[in-house]
Chains A and B, each alone.
Chain A
């Protein structure tokens, strides 16, 4: 070890530095992460294990073992790094150590322990190869992973205290302040006040004695780096004493700073006459309490003075009148840590690091693949941070919001993905860079519940001195709790907003003034989610315990009791399972094949490994007992009440089914020759075989429903006629069968051009369609893909789908996209039709325009923008436009009051239109939506119609089971035996299936179904 004990001058410091560098003889070093993240994941004893192994192998002369500060890759911890070479080992366990030590000594790499590219599985052993690190700019964290945070020698060997030595010998305080000002450095503690201006205020303030406080915060960079900045700051402003104000519960930070202060003092870098410059500075560690309020500068001062840590009115600012009445410089540790590099590399260098001025350390957490501590140039976009740095969201989930700045921060929704993260932009959006906490939220995070949790923190942390914050946070918490517990009142939203405004405007300090940020930003962007909780007692994320029996059934638009039927499947009780399903949804066979199963997206098992295959289970169960009917209380007296249902789609038939089950006399009028609506004429047979459909529709007739086909409302009869015939109520469920026009010239007159819905309808009704050799389908939704795949099966040699955005934006379900690609349907993205090419009255091609993605719309989707000049003609024998459908409500043309904004049928909460006794649901109300939503509508309309006619609620009593527990749990042994893995279904080979309408997806076997069902966690039985 070097023998210089006191670097009494700048020259001595340089000699000392050279001695340390010369003393390092080991060929390799093994750095074990000592960060809190890795410790929390079990790294606490790892360094000892490594040291013992190195000693045992007698490699102490070859390999140096030491702890390093957090490299930030915390999701992958515990971490071990080999220098030189920067080989990073992840998720290291004690038993891996001998292998690592042996490999290191022989210059090899243990491949199984290095990070692998998630997409290609290619090993990326070096830190610089890993995108998580490559996307960062490491200035403040440059020592993390490289030097021992408890060693001043390591810091000095790496060039530490050079900047200090420079300014003390060469620089006037005024010049230092001028440099910090020019760098544009802003306080990293939260408010973002210019550091240089603050330093100048303290410098110019009058006072014999001046102090410096380095504010706690869990700064994860090197403590000596902070300390060097602190001493430079003290010299610049003329402070003679100061404190490192560190949270006592952050033991690691307290230890590191205590040690740094001790080591720097011993070397003459602190205390009297620093480096012989004549400047003296006394600096101590002050372990602070964990109260958030003590981060507020006046409260912090009060706490050091031995008072209750409550804020006082500013001005006077601490820069003028601070600790014990003296001018006091208070900056965050991260602010100080920026100073040495600004001194060494110059203010221009600092400003050039990022458009927002320098870099900032963020803690990237929540639903991202690679979370952890990251240092980023200020001014990256939200999207760059989430996708490039964070590696995107896991499990293919959708980005919902980024929460910035902790409990007093705000949420940014998808439409702000292009916003840059810098102080001014973020503040303008109502959030705060603050502590630098970035929590990525996906659709499984409930905004209201998370805002409630933040408010709980603010309420607890409010010091109580001023009334707006003390009472306001409490009251806001109460309102939020009411909403998440299902007791919310409609006026709560306005009440909450008004209160949040008052607390923001009238609180004494920054804590109170920012406490409302989560409420205000979430109300701006997610107001509908609050309303959904209040009005529908529905939590879209299926998180609010009081509202959610089980996430799957809560998410199901028809409210099907999935955990109960899944449990019955596990026990082989299929008939009971089907009966449970049909209590809420009479189409298990159909939905088991075509439902987009939102239930699976919320399945809690999916958080552990993979969601339960609910849809495939449903299909299996229904195919075992297709004709089972649920038992409902049948009231003979209801038979005298006639109800008419218009449209035999899933909405109309569900409505008819439930009314019939309790005894009403229901007749369904269908304009087409076959019943079923879109499930009959919209969904191709390779997804839903005819005999399955017929059997399931047959069960509806068994329940007593009468269906009259080829009876069209508008041409054959009017709604008034139905009432005149004695029907007490009418349900309108005519669907949305009218294809939207592509708005191309001659679209309606040319042969070979049709809309997707009409095309599928013709095929569904068995009418011959000649599509020719080449088909172009326009659109990106499920109808477009169904049309394309149907055209292929009708004999088209080449089918191309063109869509104006990219595949990522396609509204079609991912599994449909995959199946279409397997069948060699070409997806031509970023292409929009602008015209039709014709020969005579026959279409021969589509004029196409190449597009690119531009700005985002209100939902965060990028708008397609034409690329000038890039047009071409795509040859086609048939052009199918599948860009949307509308309901055909011409029969209501004299009653415009019944129509909604988009030409849909308007209904109230009671499912009734403005015409008394006329109810509505399904696609006619929603626009094109799903089968299961239509079922939910029909079911709710049936409840409403029963109440309307007889004032009774037999249906509601039967299906409104709420939180009832119905099926017992299987044994623990059976649960364990089911294993972790989700059962897969087989699909018919693409080459075989694409020539005819054979069903693509094959069914589970009984063993597979029972095993899969046994994986269910039974959330319905949770407390």
Chain B
């Protein structure tokens, strides 16, 4: 089968696209987070050109936009994998074996925390408590939360994603 590559990074980002996207937001810093979320929603990350365009639109210095864009974990300046595997590192999850799950992801995908596989299939990250402590350890795959995860169950979740991609 043909290897897929990420197309999102190659998308050209035009200033007009951004202005159209942000149209209706109030000027100023109060709209900065909503604007960055809109951009990321469209491109999957925050392309540099989009940040400049957003700064212009909101009438904020680019440095200010950049400082906020680099602060929040949910915002990404680099393209991401098509699937995100996020392992909770909250206390309940670690008591119940969350570290074993983290080790299993690293071993299976051969990436460290915060990295994306070279084929852009998976991005692996860990996160603060998801609030699902009762079914710890917990893993979110593309926002779907799975409870009582073991290294074996995690392997199945990853395999399922890989298989469904191959079938596409």
Q: Is A439 within 8 A of B72, CB to CB?
A: no
Contacts of A550 in B (CB 8 A): none
Q: Is A373 within 8 A of B30, CB to CB?
A: no
Question: Interface digits, A437-467 against B, CB 8 Å rule (1 contact, 0 not)?
Answer: 1011100010001100110110011010000
Q: Is A37 within 8 A of B134, CB to CB?
A: yes
How many angstroms from the CA of A38 to the CA of B99 in the assembled complex? 23
A403 proximal to B (CB < 8 A): yes
Contact of A365 among B73, B130, B133, B145 (CB under 8 A): B133
Q: Is A306 within 8 A of B74, CB to CB?
A: no
How many angstroms from the CA of A366 to the CA of B95 in the assembled complex? 6
The residues in B between 5 and 39 inclusive whose CB is less than 8 angstroms from any CB of A are: 28-33, 37
How many angstroms from the CA of A304 to the CA of B133 in the assembled complex? 28
How many angstroms from the CA of A218 to the CA of B128 in the assembled complex? 12
- Given A363-B133, A457-B90 in contact, is the A450-B30 Cβ separation under 8 Å? no
Instruction: Give the residue name and chain of the A residue nearest to B69 (CB).
Output: A308
How many angstroms from the CA of A688 to the CA of B143 in the assembled complex? 59
B146 proximal to A (CB < 8 A): yes
Contacts of B147 in A (CB 8 A): 37, 40-41, 74
How many angstroms from the CA of A363 to the CA of B127 in the assembled complex? 18
Q: Is A249 within 8 A of B127, CB to CB?
A: yes
Contact of B145 among A36, A72, A220 (CB under 8 A): A36
Q: Is A365 within 8 A of B95, CB to CB?
A: yes
How many angstroms from the CA of A291 to the CA of B75 in the assembled complex? 11
Q: Is B91 within 8 A of A40, CB to CB?
A: no
Contacts of B146 in A (CB 8 A): 40
Chain A contact-residue range equals: 35 or more
- Residue total for B at the interface (Cβ-Cβ under 8 A): 43
- Given A251-B143, A307-B68, A366-B96 in contact, is the A372-B134 Cβ separation under 8 Å? yes
Distance (Å) between the CB of A70 and the closest chain B CB? 9
How many angstroms from the CA of A306 to the CA of B36 in the assembled complex? 11
Q: Is B91 within 8 A of A363, CB to CB?
A: no
Contacts of A456 in B (CB 8 A): 89
B138 proximal to A (CB < 8 A): yes
How many angstroms from the CA of A364 to the CA of B136 in the assembled complex? 11
How many angstroms from the CA of A178 to the CA of B144 in the assembled complex? 44
How many angstroms from the CA of A406 to the CA of B88 in the assembled complex? 13
Instruction: Give the residue name and chain of the B residue nearest to A456 (CB).
Output: B89
The residues in B between 36 and 61 inclusive whose CB is less than 8 angstroms from any CB of A are: 37
How many angstroms from the CA of A251 to the CA of B132 in the assembled complex? 12
Q: Is B135 within 8 A of A403, CB to CB?
A: no
Q: Is B128 within 8 A of A290, CB to CB?
A: yes
B112 proximal to A (CB < 8 A): no
Q: Is B95 within 8 A of A441, CB to CB?
A: yes
B94 proximal to A (CB < 8 A): yes
A1023 proximal to B (CB < 8 A): yes
Q: Is A454 within 8 A of B134, CB to CB?
A: no
Contact of B129 among A44, A406, A545 (CB under 8 A): A406
The residues in A between 305 and 319 inclusive whose CB is less than 8 angstroms from any CB of B are: 305-310
Q: Is A454 within 8 A of B132, CB to CB?
A: no
Q: Is B99 within 8 A of A249, CB to CB?
A: no
Contact of A36 among B30, B32, B131 (CB under 8 A): B131
Instruction: Give the residue name and chain of the A residue nearest to B107 (CB).
Output: A1023
Contact of A453 among B99, B107, B138, B145 (CB under 8 A): B99
B164 proximal to A (CB < 8 A): no
Counting chain A CB atoms within 10 Å of each CB, the highest count among B33, B127, B133 belongs to: B133
Using a CB–CB cutoff of 8 Å, the interface residues on chain A facing chain B are: 36-37, 39-41, 44, 72, 74-75, 77, 218, 220, 248-251, 287, 289-292, 303-310, 363-367, 371-373, 403, 406-407, 409, 435, 437, 439-441, 445, 449-450, 453-454, 456-457, 460-461, 463, 545, 607, 1023
**Can you name 11 A-B pairs with beta carbons within 8 Å?**
A37-B134, A41-B147, A249-B127, A289-B73, A303-B33, A306-B30, A406-B90, A437-B129, A453-B94, A453-B98, A453-B99
**Seed contacts A308-B71, A310-B71, A406-B90; 17 additional CB < 8 Å A-B pairs:** A37-B134, A40-B138, A40-B146, A40-B148, A250-B131, A289-B33, A291-B73, A309-B71, A309-B72, A363-B131, A365-B95, A366-B92, A409-B91, A441-B95, A457-B90, A457-B128, A460-B128
Nearest 10 CB-CB pairings of A with B: A218-B131, A306-B29, A74-B134, A40-B147, A306-B32, A365-B92, A453-B94, A308-B71, A289-B72, A372-B134
